[in-house]
Amino acid sequence: MRVALIHDWLTGMRGGEKVLEGLCELYPAADLFTLLHVRGSVSSTIESHRITTSFVQHLPLARTKYRSYLPLFPLAIQQFRLDSYDLVISSSHCAAKAVLTSGQTRHISYCHSPMRYAWDQFEMYFGPARVGAAASRWFYRPVMARMARWDAATAERVDRFVANSAHVAGRIGRYYNRVATIVYPPVDTAFYHPADISPAGHFLMVSALVPYKRIELAIDACTRTGASLRIVGDGPDRERLERMAGPTVAFLGRLNDEGIRDEYRQAAAVILPGEEDFGIVPVEAQACGRPVVALGRGGALETVVDGVTGVLFDHPTADVLAAALDRAARTRFDPATIRAHAERFSRPRHLAQMQTLIDETVAAPAGTRW
């Protein structure tokens, strides 16, 4: 069976790339297609595959400004020719699920989210505060409206949707009018585990520095209260966030997995101030026995147990987050209980569920839709 994997872009190892890494392990001989590949930015497991990129790879400043070419992604993704493959698995939060296949090819799409730029996070990326009032209204809004229509229409190219959470499955139902099977993403609970050390008094964020992560809320809350905050990660918002940060906030940039694990173990709690589709970071932190302070929306409702493995807060404001941080600091959490909860999302469980789902899909009669 000839298998092709397709992923939006390869520019770093975040949650979506860890799902892709698992697929690469299940199908080590599969060909891999992507809009853009920054060499060395993803794991050796992914980069061991034959990788084919689109014309976006060769556009000016594409390595760092690839989102600026978003209106070109439909053309780029549809130029891949996958007619010769028996099975295509897309790992998609933007355009990958719209790839063209033959009528005989089975297409399974692991959907991390319907295209967030076009549906419910327009203001975060293309609102007046980001790109200016005129550009937002007269250029980006009509462009993203067309992208939303295209995103919905191309859902019919998928034979079976897999969602990374019940939250995303609901969005797939609303925007694509399709049912999705839920398979939680893989968390390496063998690697992320507690250590025999006492945590320090600071809070931690591990995140891409992009708008929808709402990192400014954590910075504001910690700056107001004088709490120490360490931020691991990089991204286009870094300069803006550094300008607003007080003296108790430290930006650590990108760290390797061992460095991130050390940061989890030493933190009083890990902060998740934005609404996540699933959110692997909170589960990695819990696998290390550390509690999470998270906005009580989206995937956090499926991964954090209020008062047991962390604290959920209701409103995305600095004042409410500050109160949640205070509550977390006063609560005695049991690291063993937190760790046991995280093991529900282990990597072996994810791979076994994905293999069963794929086998079931391939074995179904031709033309079967879920």
Report which DSSP code applies to 5.
E
Spans of the chain, pLDDT less than 70: 121, 124
138-156 tens-digit pLDDT: 888 888 889 999 999 999 9
Q: pTM of the entire structure?
A: 0.87
Cα–Cα distance for residue pair 189/349, rounded to 1 Å: 11
Q: Is residue 87 classed as helix, strand or coil in its secondary structure? A: strand
**DSSP states of 244-308:** H--TTEEEEE---HHHHHHHHHH-SEEEE-S-BSS-HHHHHHHHTT--EEEESSBTHHHH--BTT
Give the model's pLDDT for residue 103.
85
Q: Is residue 195 part of a domain?
A: no
Same domain, yes or no: 210 and 86: no
CATH of the domain at 351: 3.40.50
Cα–Cα distance for residue pair 184/6, rounded to 1 Å: 19
Cα–Cα distance for residue pair 328/153, rounded to 1 Å: 44
Q: Is residue 197 part of a domain?
A: no
Write the CA distances from 213 to 17, 176, 205, integer angstroms: 17, 24, 10
Give the model's pLDDT for residue 126.
77
CATH of the domain at 214: 3.40.50.2000
Query: How far is CA 99 from its chain centroid?
Result: 20
Same domain, yes or no: 42 and 65: yes
Containing structural domain, residue 154? 3-186+347-363
Give the model's pLDDT for residue 14.
86
Give the model's pLDDT for residue 319.
96
Q: Is residue 323 part of a domain?
A: yes
Same domain, yes or no: 52 and 99: yes
Q: Is residue 105 classed as helix, strand or coil in its secondary structure? A: coil
Task: List strands edge to edge, sheet with 203-206.
Answer: 249-253, 229-232, 203-206, 269-272, 292-295, 310-313
Same domain, yes or no: 229 and 179: no
Give the model's pLDDT for residue 139.
83
Q: Is residue 196 part of a domain?
A: no
Burial (Cβ within 10 Å: 0-12, 13-18, ≥19) of residue 83: exposed
Same domain, yes or no: 170 and 62: yes
Same domain, yes or no: 132 and 9: yes
Cα–Cα distance for residue pair 231/299, rounded to 1 Å: 21
Same domain, yes or no: 263 and 299: yes
Tally of domains within the chain: 2
Same domain, yes or no: 334 and 359: no
Same domain, yes or no: 125 and 259: no
Q: Is residue 53 part of a domain?
A: yes
Same domain, yes or no: 255 and 337: yes
108 pairs with which residues across the strands?
A: 89, 160
CA within 13 Å, CB half, 138 = 4
Same domain, yes or no: 223 and 159: no
The answer to whether 34 and 16 are in contact (CB under 8 A) is: no
Same domain, yes or no: 37 and 174: yes
Q: Is residue 37 part of a domain?
A: yes
| Among the listed residues 214, 204, 247, 246, the one whose alpha carbon sits nearest the alpha carbon of residue 317 | 214
Q: Is residue 163 part of a domain?
A: yes
Phi, psi dihedral angles at 189 (to 5 degrees) = -70, -15
The answer to whether 304 and 279 are in contact (CB under 8 A) is: no
Q: Is residue 69 part of a domain?
A: yes
